[in-house]
Structure 1
Amino acid sequence: MVFYFESSVVSPPSIIFMGIDKYENEDLIKWGWPEDVWFHVDKVSSAHVYLRLKPEQTIDDIPSAVLEDAAQLVKANSIMGNKMNDVDIVYTMWANLKKTQGMEVGQVGFHKEREVRKIKVAKRINEVVNRLNKTKREEHPDFRAEREKRDRLEREDKKKLIRDQKEREKDEEKKRQEDAELRSYNSLMNTDNMSKYDDGNDSDDFM
């Protein structure tokens, strides 16, 4: 089971979600999307919260209000973190999560520590948490099927872009050839290059 929330501080709302337990978190780690940003309370146990970016967005494009919503949701879903003030929330792109043999269920590391960011949450803001909880819904997604569908659509989009590019190049090459032929024809038809019939005789009479 996955809990989905809507951050309505932007329009259209951003989607934030988290697994119900560490086993769901394991599936989210395995079948996450390249557009997903992972959030967790630093150094203490908490829910794994994800923010799904829109296509072409990067981690630098996250509005500060959405970042605050995700951080508040992580803090609220941490037994220890919810009791603490001045909590650090770490976040990074899903692709930076690293899972190795020997790690416990739901445990992750990072491929590149320098790509992990932090945001400090001074205290829980009930107004934010309550607003998010009002949008909460439960779903039972097939993580693998959804990821495979996403990848299939991405491949189809890339193939279409390649086809469109080839068509544009074909049209441009055709136009270049037509322009070259037109320039060649104009050159041949230039009066300066045309032969004149002139025998030097002004008379039209023939002997």
Structure 2
Amino acid sequence: MKQGIFITFEGPDGSGKTTHAKLLAQWLEKQGFSVVLTREPGGTPFAESIRKLLLKPGENVFPATELLLYAASRAQHTQELIKPALAKGKFVLSDRYSDSTVAYQHFGRSLDINIINELNKIATGGLKPDLTVVIDIKTNRGMDRVSRNRAKDRLENENSLFHGRIRKGFLALSRKEPGRIKVITSGGSIQGTQEKILKITREFLKRKKLS
């Protein structure tokens, strides 16, 4: 059995990545692929319990604590859900993964990148996405979307300077790994953004000889 395909969606809060991960999962299923749609932090019962701790509004969570909790959640998620699904030849689509830790904890919190990289390596067991779609959005626009659509979690309540650093982090990562990380600007209609994602996905599937 062939190894599955791991695709992640990244981007600032309010970018629409959750919506577009769901839409791509639906499209892939229509093409006949078996798909697992998941998210971080979370994805398994244990990891979801860590998610509640991390995102609870009003909690004073120190940056190092935050980093370690994300790593714990990711380790459980990777071993319990992602790797077994990939071993069965499935497509796994995750709303956030290890790139988010670099963006939030290094660019956002200024934690040591070497420590973050080492923790990510331990938590993922060396697993890297085959394709990462970063949906970019201007910071103020993303925050406005979040405010309109839902109650903010602990991280969404951070100020615009913090979220601006995160956006810059994702763009920096895309410049470092342009082969894996593809950036799409969130603007206009959901359908328009999804068409851009489908174009990238079709090209990716063609390279993998899956289309």
Higher relative contact order (CA 8 A, sep 6+): 2
- TM-score, normalisation: structure 2: 0.23
TM-score normalised by structure 1 residue count = 0.23
Structure with higher helix content: 2
More strand by share: 1
